[in-house]
Amino acid sequence: MHPQYLTIQDFTYDLPESRIAQYPLSKRDDSKLLIYRSGNISEDIYKNISEHIPEQSLLVFNDTKVIEARLKFKKPSGGAIEIFCLSPHSQYADITSAMLQCGKVWWNCLIGGASKWKHGMVLEKQIETSNGLILLKAAIAGRAAENFVVELTWEPAGLSFAEVLHLSGEIPLPPYMKREAETNDAERYQTIYAAHNGSVAAPTAGLHFTDGIFQSLTHKNIDSDFVTLHVGAGTFKPVKAELMHDHEMHAEYIVVNRSTIEKLRQNTGRIFCVGTTSLRTIESLYWMGVKINQRPAITEDELVIGQWEVYDELCQYTLSAGEALQRLLDWMDNKKLQKLITQTRILIAPGYTGRIIRGLITNFHQPQSTLLLLVAALVGDDWKKIYQYALDHSFRFLSYGDGCLLFSSAGNQV
């Protein structure tokens, strides 16, 4: 069945609020780890994860960095307005260039209290720093689909937007935590390898990894590499449409080095993705190679992977993972690119046949979410058994919760 016709009600389970982790454990790698392989379930802790991954595997991590995307303003009358910076305006080539803008930037935002923000009103906020005051101003510049376009300006104008957010914003914890961000969240809601500003939510599977785990992986001859997918708020929203046909996946930026794609090509069948974002990135690379194979002169804009096209026009073409990645490498060489910067809207759900990975390391996800659909694509109906085991054995759920190592039910296929 085409995933468009999946009913989201079939991908739900009862998640008591008491099972949602509100805070992380004191040590990242003390989190519990469920291991699923060939229909069997066992458990351990993350500190020992290398013992459960085959030698000579390749682990792929998402090294995006969560930005302080929540900006709180007060109107002259004292009313509160909160701006949630979702993604850069389309005038910018990518998130990195938008984050480096100085003095002024346009951003797609959600606005808390939007009805109280009158047309033409400019909000102002002063931020005290060790180097002096920053004056930040915000004005509504237009609408973009369900969101607002906000023009943000600041002085001193020599500061980048990344610096302004870091000094004036707050880490955007998921709404199900039902608490304000605290000082500790600035560190714990980031992976230890976070490098590139751009996400509004953490790639949470990576929150468990420590320097000690990386050392144990190296000791066992397990390699690591990094891709970047800047996580948008849409990825984690529960699906509200009855049928997936009516759910829209938002585009997310991905950045992948040529050297990483070459390593993927050399390790197909031995690849484990740390997090659903890494998996979506890796699978998108395969389909980009398929597109190039059919249209060698394809442009960078046309390389973007749509929500449904891997189930429709692209699925008729058969390439091995190595062949598809080689086509992508050749295309990059032709364009003299050492880094691929593009977008993906791929939705991975039951009915999807993957091409590259052998397994996935991930947290436990919300009922009726696209992330749960991805897990179901990987392990089939056993997702129910896995989640019931986690509920029955005191696993902690969602962003600050425990996680699992899932071996694909079909070898190296999702």
Domain count, the chain: 2
328, 319 Cβ separation under 8 angstroms: no
Position 176 in a domain: no
Cα 16 to its chain centre, rounded Å, is: 25
Query: Considering the chain, what is the average pLDDT of its residues?
Result: 94
Q: What is the mean pLDDT of residues 296-319?
A: 94
The parent domain of residue 24 ranges over 3-65+190-407
Domain match, 358 and 211 both: yes
Residues 148 and 209 in one domain: no
- pLDDT value of residue 410: 61
CATH of residue 132's domain is 2.40.10.240
Q: What is the mean pLDDT of residues 67-96?
A: 91
**Residue 292: partners with Cβ closer than 8 Å, 6 or more residues away:** 298, 303, 327, 328, 330, 331
Q: Are 241 and 360 within one domain? A: yes
Categorize the per-residue pLDDT at 250 as very low, low, confident or very high, splitting at 50, 70 and 90.
Answer: confident
What is the rounded CA–CA span in Å between residue 375 and residue 358? 13
Average pLDDT over residues 291-296: 97
Residue 101's region, left for phi above 0, alpha for psi from -120 to 50, else beta, is beta
Query: What's residue 8's pLDDT?
Result: 93
User: Quick check: is 403 in a domain?
Assistant: yes
Q: Could you tell me the CATH number of the domain that includes residue 13?
A: 3.40.1780.10
Average pLDDT of the segment spanning 264-292 = 97
Domain co-membership, 48 together with 78: no
Shared domain check, 93 and 60: no
* pLDDT in the model for residue 235: 66
Three-state SS annotation for 275-344: CHHHHHHHHHHHHHHHHHHHCCCCCCHHHCECCCCCCCCHHHCCCCHHHHHHHHHHHHHHCCCCEEEEEE
Residues 403 and 352 in one domain: yes
Instruction: Answer whether residue 175 is part of any domain.
Output: no
Q: Which of 347, 294, 280, 301 is nearest to 323 (CA)?
A: 294
Sheet holding 271-274, edge to edge: 40-45, 32-37, 403-407, 359-363, 271-274, 58-62, 223-229, 252-257, 339-344
- Per the CB < 8 A criterion, the answer to whether 35 and 52 are in contact is yes
- Same domain, residue pair 60 and 89: no
Q: What is the pLDDT of residue 119?
A: 81
pLDDT > 80? residue 142: yes
Q: What is the pLDDT of residues 170-214, one digit of tens each?
A: 999 998 998 999 999 999 999 999 999 999 999 999 999 999 999
pLDDT for res 414: 47
Is residue 278 located within the same domain as residue 335? Answer: yes
**Does residue 281 sit within a domain?**
yes
Residue from 48, 85, 92 nearest 213 by CA: 48
Q: How far apart are CA 288 and CA 52, in angstroms?
A: 31
Q: Rounded to an integer, what distance in angstroms lies between the CA atom of residue 201 and that of residue 66?
A: 6
Q: What is the pLDDT of residue 239?
A: 84
Q: Is position 178 within any domain? A: no
Query: Does 336 lie in the same domain as 209?
Result: yes
pLDDT at 413 over 50: no
The residues facing 132 across adjacent strands are 129
- Reduce the DSSP state of residue 9 to 3 states and report it: helix
To which residue do tokens 């999702």 refer?
Answer: 414
The structure tokens listed for 113 are 């209290």
Give the integer Cα–Cα distance in Å for 272 and 56. Answer: 11
Same structural domain for residues 90 and 203? no
The reported pLDDT for the residue numbered 348 is: 96
| AA identity, residue 83 | I
**pLDDT single digits (tens) 115-139:** 889 888 999 999 998 888 999 999 9
Looking at the chain, the whole-number percentage of residues with pLDDT higher than 70 is 98
Show which of 115, 139, 169 is a domain's final residue: 169
Residue that the structure tokens 């390389």 belong to: 303
